[in-house]
Amino acid sequence: MEIEEAIKRAKKNDQKAFNFLLDTFWDDVYGFQLKRTENENDAEDITIQTFSKAFDRIETFDESFKFKTWLITISKNIHIDLLRKKKNSISQVISKNDREAFQILDESPSPEDNLITEQHLAKLLRDIKKLKPHYQEVINLRYFQELSYKEISIELNEPINNVKVKLLRAKKLLAEIIREK
């Protein structure tokens, strides 16, 4: 399948075209992010977000540009957004008069925060149970058992790219379930 053909088919929601595009460009986007973040997990997460965002908005892709360039731009913007969020949450150090006062952000959860987190987790688990079993399984392995893609691939006896796509799809479906509420 040619890239142009895959893009046209992907715009018609063809799952095989999405798989082809993911397989073709995964290493490019992941490698780009690995150089930027110098962290495999961050690079992997940003790459997944990149393909998720790109596939959600594939109809906006302009064929006069290269698809790889479009993906890299999306990836770069996601990374910049994450850096901005981190920067805003960093503790600030201030000086008052001649004495230095440190205003340290206490990030330890309060009892109220713990209760809210438990309630959100319970809701999330109920929403996950609305997914098909194979999607539930891949989400469980990735986010609750914290397995790598390679480990999930071995566990499910499936190629790693199938795991990536299945996880992308599961996250999309879960987001739709949550949005409907």
Distance CA 98, CA 181 (A): 53
CA distances from 147 to 125, 140, 141, 177, 179 (A): 18, 9, 6, 24, 27
Main-chain phi, psi angles of 73, to 5 degrees: -65, -45
Q: State whether CATH 1.10.10.10 applies to domain 108-180.
A: yes
Share of the chain above pLDDT 90, in %: 43
Give the residue-averaged pLDDT of 68-96. 77
61: confidence class by pLDDT, cuts 50, 70, 90:
very high
The kind and range of the H/E element at 122 are helix 111-128
159: confidence class by pLDDT, cuts 50, 70, 90:
confident
The class level of CATH for 3-89 reads mainly alpha
Question: What is the pTM assigned to this prediction?
Answer: 0.55
As annotated, the residues of the chain forming the CATH 1.10.1740.10 domain(s) are: 3-89
